[in-house]
Amino acid sequence: MNLDFGILWIEDSYSPEEEESLKRRVLEAGFIAKIRVIPNGVGIEDLARSHSLYHVFDIILLDYRLRDDNGVELAPKIRQLFPSTTILFYSGSVQESELRQLIASREVEGVYCARRDQQRFIQRTGELIDQTARALDRLSGMRGLAMRVVAECDDLMKTAMLSMSGRDAKCAEKVVDLDKDVFSSLTRMQDGYAESIEGDLKLRFENRAIDSSKIFKHFRRLTELVARDPGTFGLDEGKVERLRELRNLSSQYSKEVLDKRNVLGHVIEVQAENGWVLQGSNEISVGDFPEIRRRFAFYIDAIREMKSLVIFLDAEKSN
């Protein structure tokens, strides 16, 4: 399971406002929109090849009238190249009933149709996104997503911290605080396990540590130093203010990502009269999954942006 929701938008004329509305709608479903826009069918085979390897696109938006192309003529080829991907065929000048007739005349299966006005187009696309999201609202998928998000955030923060420590002596010196965290944790783990051996096997199982929390804690230390001395990292006033804002907004990462990851890893999913329910914790339910995805999407975006800010000079140098 992936937080990125891939959209292939075959359209030769769209507004930035329309794209932003689409991104917001994807975020409401708990995903990050990754939109690829092409004006016609040129190069569609290469995109299909990439999709077959990496599942790049979750939905395809196809306009009826295109630059040097025709959507209804292109639809059979798209269905052949993307046999299991949801397609929304739309037009600003043709009614939905006529669009359906056009698609039916080409015998293209599994295509939805919508009139292209701002409200209807985004609403219909959102319904299809929600339909895809509901299929992912299972514990196994959410567990995999949580593990993936934490792993990516760990990697982002490690890369950023290596850059910060390599550029600034004060950041490098902070490694002693990370050492203290690790040794303190080991001591607590040893003391905690020593206490658990006085009990039964169940008590021993409850003894565990969360390594990713230490990564985040050290990341907070180093980004605080960057915010205090932005010139060393090439940050102007606007960038350092954005870094401070992101540090504030992401301060609850441990609670909203790491703790949720841990809960998801220990609950079980059982069938109930009204659908799937989770047992083993009263902290989350299946109904919380979309909001959990939204929070995951927020944090991974925030950490990605913070990384790009603090390694700005390194990235500039490599280019």
| Domain containing residue 129: CATH number | 3.40.50.2300
101 and 226 fall within a common domain: no
Boundary-marking domain end, from 89, 112, 134: 134
DSSP secondary structure letter of residue 90: E
Q: Which DSSP helix (H) or strand (E) runs through 61?
A: strand 59-63
Q: Are residues 126 and 152 in the same domain?
A: no
Task: Give yes or no: residues 304 and 166 share one domain.
Answer: yes
**Structural domain boundaries enclosing 242:** 145-253+300-318
- Give a yes or no: residue 288 inside a domain: no
Is residue 204 in some structural domain?
yes
CA-wise closest residue to 170 among 245, 244, 221: 221
Last residue of a domain, one of 134, 156, 185: 134
**DSSP symbol at 1:** -
Distance of CA 37 to CAs 47, 130, 307, Å? 11, 21, 26
Is 62 domain-assigned? yes
Residues 196, 236, single domain; the answer is yes
Q: What is the DSSP letter of 64?
A: S
The two structure tokens encoding residue 193? 């396990």
Structure tokens at 100: 């359906």
Residues 22, 119 contacting (CB under 8 angstroms):
no
Across-strand partners of 119? none
Strands 65-66 and 59-63: unpaired
User: Among candidates 156, 137, 165, 161, which has minimal Cα distance to 301?
Assistant: 156
> According to the model, what pLDDT value does residue 319 have?
63
For residue 279, is it within any domain?
A: no
pLDDT for the residue 121: 87
Q: What stretches of 106-168 show up as alpha helix (H) in DSSP?
A: 118-134, 139-167
149 plus 214 within the same structural domain? yes
Gap between the Cα atoms of 179 and 184, Å rounded: 8
**Number of domains making up the chain:** 2
Which tokens in the block code for residue 226?
């960057």
Contact 43, 68 (CB under 8 A): no
Q: Is residue 40 part of a domain?
A: yes
Q: Compute φ and ψ for 18, nearest 5 degrees.
A: -65, -40
Same domain, 175 and 59: no
Q: Is 122 exposed, middle or buried (0-12, 13-18, 19+ CB in 10 A)?
A: middle
pLDDT tens for each residue of 135-172: 777 898 899 999 999 999 999 999 999 999 999 999 99
Task: Determine, yes or no, domain membership for 165.
Answer: yes
Numbers of helices and strands, H then E, in the chain: 15, 9
Report DSSP state, residue 254. Answer: I
First CA to last CA across the chain, in angstroms? Answer: 32
Q: Are residues 177 and 304 in the same domain?
A: yes
DSSP letters spanning 159-195: HHHHHHHHH-HHHHHTHHHHHHHHHHHHHHHHHHHHH
Q: Report pLDDT for 210.
A: 38
Q: Residue 205 has what pLDDT? A: 54
Contact 149, 257 (CB under 8 A): yes
> Ramachandran region of residue 259, left (φ > 0), alpha (ψ -120 to 50) or beta?
alpha
Q: Are residues 115 and 32 in the same domain?
A: yes
Residue 46's Cβ-side half-sphere holds a number of Cα atoms within 13 Å equal to 5
Asked if residue 247 belongs to a domain, the reply is yes
Regarding whether 178 and 55 lie in a shared domain, the answer is no
- Which has the closest alpha carbon to 290: 173, 138, 158, 172? 138
| pLDDT, position 174 | 94
Are 130 and 36 in the same domain?
A: yes
180 token code pair: 């203290």
- 18 shares its domain with 43: yes
Residue 287 lies in a domain: no
Q: Which residues of the chain have pLDDT under 50?
A: 207, 209-210
Same domain, 105 and 159: no
Token pair in block for residue 13: 């004329």
Of 114, 134, 154, the position where a domain reaches its end is 134
Closest to 76 in 3D by CA, of 98, 103, 55, 36: 103
